[in-house]
Amino acid sequence: MADFDQFITRLEQLVTRVETLLPPARAAVDWSATAFRWRVGASGAGFLQAVKHPHYVDLDALKNIETQKDSIVRNTRQFVTGRQANNVLLTGARGTGKSTLVKAAWTAFANEGLKIIEVDKTDLLHLADIVDLVGERPEKFIIFCDDLSFEEGEISYKALKSVLDGSISAPTANMLFYATSNRRHLLPQKMRDNLDVVSYEDGEVRPNDSIEEKVSLSERFGLWLSFYPFSQDDYLAAAHHWVTELGGAWGDNARDAALLWHRTRGARSGRVAWQFAKDYVGRHQN
């Protein structure tokens, strides 16, 4: 009996060791959802989590970026209808609608089966897993990474480069990558990169190679959309829209308050206009 108990104990230990070597089972995905986030569990395994309350955005609510709207809507329509389309990089001034425009472009085609997957920058090393998971699905997916930029020493951008263009695997036809960033080339560029020097203080002998490495990531996005700070008229137009959209009254008092608001914030943008409208309407509601 003692030998049998010892055998059972050793068998349980063997099973435990084997289980640690096996890949973790993936959680079931609710493919009926329209929006997902890529999450990483305590074990380090990633999974798709359906978003319970997606943020749908009406394209008409975005003001002063008509050229950018036309470009991303055209590209997204090409993608949804099975035609050739590009990965998109949206860069420029903060608060000017980059992230909101991505959500609005997805919203415009959500009823046609387009889905969106939000991936945090820190989880880009899992991109190959995401491609394997959704690459054979019949739906179309936008992989969305907000506020994408990399600091010195970060290596996750290499995974992104590989997925966009450069992997041994062929690009999947049901997936595009849309990213926003305040940096034009995503990686930090230093003044010394442009100096005609023999060697860097950190040992870099061929500065051109360093520059090529930093530019090559952004060049993997076929469509670049640039965003610029609002003029005062653009800002007031956005503030007017949001005040009336939220049920408030626009007049001289609202205009003066909007001007004072952006001066105290030191910026003019769609985000500042939206924040002003919420404050103004909230204070004047009965």
pLDDT in tens, 77-98: 999 999 999 999 898 878 888 8
Instruction: Copy the structure tokens of residue 72.
Output: 């991303």
Q: Is residue 150 part of a domain?
A: yes
pLDDT in tens, 114-151: 999 999 877 877 888 888 888 889 999 999 988 776 66
Rounded to an integer, the average pLDDT of 179-188 is 67
Q: What is the pLDDT of residue 21?
A: 42
Smallest CA-to-CA distance from 144 within 157, 129, 159, 127 is with: 127
In the chain, alpha helices (H):
2-21, 66-80, 98-110, 127-134, 156-164, 207-218, 232-245, 252-265, 270-284
Token pair 């936008």 in the structure block, residue = 142
The last residue of one of the domains, among 227, 249, 275, is 227
Q: What is the pLDDT of residue 94?
A: 81
Q: Is residue 195 part of a domain?
A: yes
The 3-class SS string of 73-110 reads HHHHHHHHCCCCCCCEEEEECCCCCHHHHHHHHHHHHH
Q: What letters, b where the CB count within 10 A reaches 16 and e where it falls short, cover 93-117?
A: bebbbbbbbbbbbbbbbbeeebbbb
Rounded to an integer, the average pLDDT of 199-209 is 51
- One domain, residues 223 and 237: no
- One domain, residues 217 and 263: no
- One domain, residues 253 and 201: no
Q: Is residue 158 part of a domain?
A: yes
The residues, ordered by sequence, that sit 6+ positions from 63 with a Cβ below 8 Å of its Cβ are 234, 237, 238, 241, 270
The band of 191, judged by pLDDT with boundaries at 50, 70 and 90, is very low
For residue 250, pLDDT beyond 80: yes
What range does the domain containing 272 cover? 232-284
- One domain, residues 45 and 152: yes
The band of 152, judged by pLDDT with boundaries at 50, 70 and 90, is low
Q: Is residue 132 part of a domain?
A: yes
The residues, ordered by sequence, that sit 6+ positions from 114 with a Cβ below 8 Å of its Cβ are 34, 76, 79, 80, 106, 139, 140, 141, 142
Q: What is the CATH number of the domain that holds 91?
A: 3.40.50.300
Number of domains comprising the chain: 2
Percent of the chain with pLDDT over 70: 70
The residues, ordered by sequence, that sit 6+ positions from 39 with a Cβ below 8 Å of its Cβ are 46, 47, 48, 49
- One domain, residues 169 and 238: no
| Mean pLDDT score of the chain | 79
The 3-class SS string of 203-232 reads CCCCHHHHHHHHHHHHCCCCEEEEECCCCH
Q: Tell me the C-alpha distance between 239 and 154, whole Å.
A: 39
Q: What is the pLDDT of residue 22?
A: 41
- One domain, residues 208 and 260: no
